[in-house]
């Protein structure tokens, strides 16, 4: 479970995120929706402490995340961004990046298992420069899952993809969330996608929470 408690961030006197409180229960998918510049990505970056809150805090499994070492926190709260940002090398090297930071080498079987989960069986030895946009995003998803996170943050995970790849990746994410019971926060500007993926929604505008509730109520209000 992850809880944002009066979470805020101001930069240069401007509030990017303003006093947001929301609880995402274990296994729940929360969609964060709103227009461009509403503070959706800024809010997400506060949840894994890529940015520092200037107000409030986040509780992970009931613990104030400022008491958790940042690297440990980010392993527990994984993130997939709009662009895959794969590191030079092979697909399996990318998948093993997170565990390698703790001095662990993931086995070939584990790498294959993660790749199979994202529909990329047999891709382990491929160079990442030879991947399509959709394939790269799936590697990015497998790479985040390799850390066995408790919470997964998805920042517009399909918005840089073409329509075919978009529906494949979205379907894949949906399957993984259902199979693993991951707690998930997904940022999207696409209301239809939010309705397909999430059970609850948080509507932001100008950095403030305008509505929080069941997906249909928030999107149709």
Partner 1 sequence: MLNRLFTDPLQLGLAQALAAAIVAYAVVLVARRRQIHLEREAAIALVRGLVQIVAVGSVLVLLLHSSRWIGAPALAAMIFAAGVTSAKRAKGVPGSLQVSTVAIACGAGSVIAIMTWLGVIHTAITTLIPIGSMLIANAMNTNGLALNRFRSDVLAHVGEIETALALGAAPTQSVADYVQASFEASLIPAIDSLRSLGIVWIPGLMAGMLLSGSRPIYAAIYQFVVLAMIFAASGFTSLVSTLLIRAHVFTAAEQLLLRPGAVAVHSKG
Q: Does 40 bind partner 1 (CB under 8 A)?
A: no
Burial code (b: 16+ CB inside 10 Å, e: under 16) for 158-196 equals bebbeeebbebbbebbeebbeeeebbbbbbbebbebbbe
Q: Does 136 bind partner 1 (CB under 8 A)?
A: no
Closest CA to 218 of 201, 205, 196, 204: 201
Q: Does 9 bind partner 1 (CB under 8 A)?
A: yes
**In angstroms, rounded to a whole number, what is the distance separating the alpha carbons of residues 219 and 76?**
30
**In angstroms, rounded to a whole number, what is the distance separating the alpha carbons of residues 7 and 209?**
11
Minimum gap (Å) between residue 211 Cβ and partner 1: 28
The answer to whether 171 and 142 have CB atoms below 8 angstroms apart is no
Binding mask 44-63 for partner 1 (x = CB under 8 A): ----xxxxx-x---------
Minimum gap (Å) between residue 7 Cβ and partner 1: 13
Q: For residue 219, give the DSSP letter.
A: H
Among 85, 107, 116, 121, binds partner 1 (CB under 8 A): 85
Minimum gap (Å) between residue 12 Cβ and partner 1: 5
Pick the closer one to partner 1 by CB: 70 or 213.
Answer: 70
**In angstroms, rounded to a whole number, what is the distance separating the alpha carbons of residues 176 and 179?**
5
HEC letters along 70-113: HHHHHHHEEEECCCCCCCCCEHHHHHCHHHHHCCCCCCHHHHHH
- What residues between 91 and 110 interact with partner 1 by CB under 8 A? 97-98, 101-102
Q: What is the number of other CB atoms lying within 10 angstroms of the CB of residue 6?
A: 12
Pick the closer one to partner 1 by CB: 102 or 130.
Answer: 102
- Dihedral pair phi/psi, residue 64, rounded to 5°: -60, 120
Q: Does 6 bind partner 1 (CB under 8 A)?
A: no
Among 21, 25, 63, 87, binds partner 1 (CB under 8 A): 87
Pick the closer one to partner 1 by CB: 135 or 201.
Answer: 135
- What residues between 159 and 218 interact with partner 1 by CB under 8 A? none
Minimum gap (Å) between residue 75 Cβ and partner 1: 4
For partner 1, the binding residues (CB under 8 A) are 9, 11-12, 48-52, 54, 66, 70-72, 74-75, 78-79, 81, 83, 85, 87, 97-98, 101-102, 143-144, 147
């Amino acid at each position: 479970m992850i809880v944002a408690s009066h979470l805020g961030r101001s930069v240069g006197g401007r509030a990017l995120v303003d006093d947001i409180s929301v609880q995402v229960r274990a296994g729940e998918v929360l969609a964060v929706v709103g227009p461009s510049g509403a503070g959706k990505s800024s809010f997400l970056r506060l949840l894994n402490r890529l940015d520092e809150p200037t107000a409030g805090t986040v509780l992970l499994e009931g613990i104030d995340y400022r008491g958790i070492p940042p690297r440990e926190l980010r392993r527990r709260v994984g993130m997939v961004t709009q662009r895959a940002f794969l590191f030079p090398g092979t697909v399996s090297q990318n998948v093993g990046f997170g565990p390698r930071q703790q001095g662990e080498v993931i086995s070939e079987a584990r790498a294959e298992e993660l790749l199979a989960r994202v529909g990329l069986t047999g891709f382990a030895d491929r160079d990442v420069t030879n991947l399509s946009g959709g394939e790269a995003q799936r590697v990015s998803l497998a790479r985040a899952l390799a850390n066995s996170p408790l919470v997964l943050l998805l920042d517009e995970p399909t918005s840089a993809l073409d329509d075919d790849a978009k529906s494949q990746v979205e379907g894949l994410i949906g399957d993984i969330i259902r199979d693993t019971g991951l707690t998930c926060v997904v940022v999207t500007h696409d209301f239809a996608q939010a309705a397909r993926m999430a059970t609850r929604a948080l509507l932001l505008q100008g950095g403030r929470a305008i509505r929080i509730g069941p997906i249909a109520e928030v999107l149709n209000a």
